[in-house]
Amino acid sequence: MEAVLVAMSVSATKQDDDKISHNLTTTTSDVEIVTSGNRRIPAHSGVLALASPVLMNIIKKPVRRYRGCGSRRVIKILGVPCDAVSVFIKFLYTSSLTEDEMERYGIHLLALSHVYMVTQLKQRCSKGIIQRLTAENVVDVLQLARLCDAPDVYLRSMRLIHSQFKTVEVTEGWKFLQEHDPSLELDILQFIDDAESRKKRSRRHRKEQDLYMQLSEAMECIEHICTQGCTLVGPSNVVDNNNKPTMIAENLKPCKAFSTCYGLQLLIRHFAVCKRRSKDKGCLRCKRMLQLFRLHSSVCDQPESCRVPLCRQFKKRGEQDKKMGEDTKWKLLVTRVVTAKAMSSLCQSKKNKCEEEAENLIKTKELLGFVDNNED
């Protein structure tokens, strides 16, 4: 193929560590690239058209004759350094780009790849520019990303400005932006405001989820205390009827949610003997316990056989409230506690399954090792 034969004739050399030139076989070249410094780079229309649809359209147009160029077609690539154009043409031939070239001409190559629709080069430049983002150049990169339709570069630039805004706002790029591009400045400030709002919502959501998980755990502990009985006061002790600590049996494991379970036991004991509960102002701890009993009744699916105090009474009252119109906030709380309980059970089952698989794998390895030793 002509494109392959032509590409083999390309060689890139460096001069004075900062200039790149291409030695192309001028006998078959039919295009001449003219840069801003009036440098002329011979090229081949077949290679350019294959690499860039924009260059293909330019090449298809009638040839404009320029003095001193003979029959060659002339394509002007202006507005960027000459060496950047040389690197761009070299990439069209070889699809290669060094780190040093990316360091020097990455921004210019991004602009060229966008203008001439060289997708592969645009992706390479986007990744390279993102890796080299700093507080000093981020504003310039952001402006270029918006012009060149590079959403990944644009988003990463916005995030960097948000995370290092105090450093960015003292740079020359930010001052220039304030004077010449107030619309982009407004977009940046809006992005920062939205990001802070998302952070606040996320923190609030995590706190709410933690609360629902704690309430779900409390519901399990209440059922555990009232059905199986739990007199633990510490990970290794129990309390008998005389409230004297004794050592638990070796085969009895401590309660998994000890802190929650122990706190609920104290609340239940207080609720059973509190004399302030029936007074006008009532008792705050007793009110809290009644709310937990009511919540348990709302999530309990076996009220007839449930041994939790007041479960059936609250269930009957809940049925009356449904007829009269149940409290929306309470209904939402019950729904989210039930969801948290389901998610907790799912996570626990996955954890148990992983632990079981790990144990089986260890046993299998030990068995295989034992068999190998016996064979030896």
Distance of alpha carbon 311 from alpha carbon 318, whole angstroms: 10
| pLDDT digits (tens), the chain, 376 positions | 333 333 333 333 334 333 334 444 445 788 889 998 888 999 998 999 999 999 999 988 876 555 555 567 889 999 999 999 999 999 999 999 999 999 999 999 999 999 999 999 999 999 999 999 999 999 999 999 999 999 999 999 999 999 999 999 999 999 999 999 999 999 999 999 999 999 999 999 889 888 888 888 888 888 888 877 776 433 333 444 444 444 333 344 556 777 888 888 888 888 888 888 766 667 888 888 888 888 888 888 887 788 888 888 888 887 776 655 567 888 888 888 888 878 777 776 776 677 777 777 776 766 666 555 555 5
pLDDT at residue 132, as a whole number: 93
User: Measuring CA to CA, which residue among 108, 113, 47 is closest to residue 82?
Assistant: 108
Distance of alpha carbon 345 from alpha carbon 366, whole angstroms: 31
pLDDT at residue 137, as a whole number: 94
pLDDT at residue 2, as a whole number: 37
Return the SS3 of 185: helix
Ranges assigned E (strand) in 28-119? 31-34, 40-43, 73-76
pLDDT at residue 157, as a whole number: 95
pLDDT at residue 196, as a whole number: 93
Distance of alpha carbon 2 from alpha carbon 46, whole angstroms: 7
Q: What does the H/E/C string look like for 319-354?
A: HHHHHHCCCHHHHHHHHHHHHHHHHHHHHHHHHHHH
pLDDT at residue 304, as a whole number: 78
pLDDT at residue 343, as a whole number: 78
pLDDT at residue 336, as a whole number: 86
For residues 52 and 10, the answer to whether their CB atoms sit within 8 Å is: no
* CB count in 10 Å sphere of residue 58: 17
What residues contact 133, with CB distance under 8 A and at least 6 apart? 141, 156, 157, 160
Distance of alpha carbon 265 from alpha carbon 231, whole angstroms: 8
Tokens of 262: 């122990």
pLDDT at residue 55, as a whole number: 93
User: Measuring CA to CA, which residue among 83, 78, 2, 88 is closest to residue 47?
Assistant: 2
For residues 333 and 295, the answer to whether their CB atoms sit within 8 Å is: yes
Tokens of 273: 């003997």
Look up residue 87 and give its DSSP letter. H
What residues contact 140, with CB distance under 8 A and at least 6 apart? 107, 173
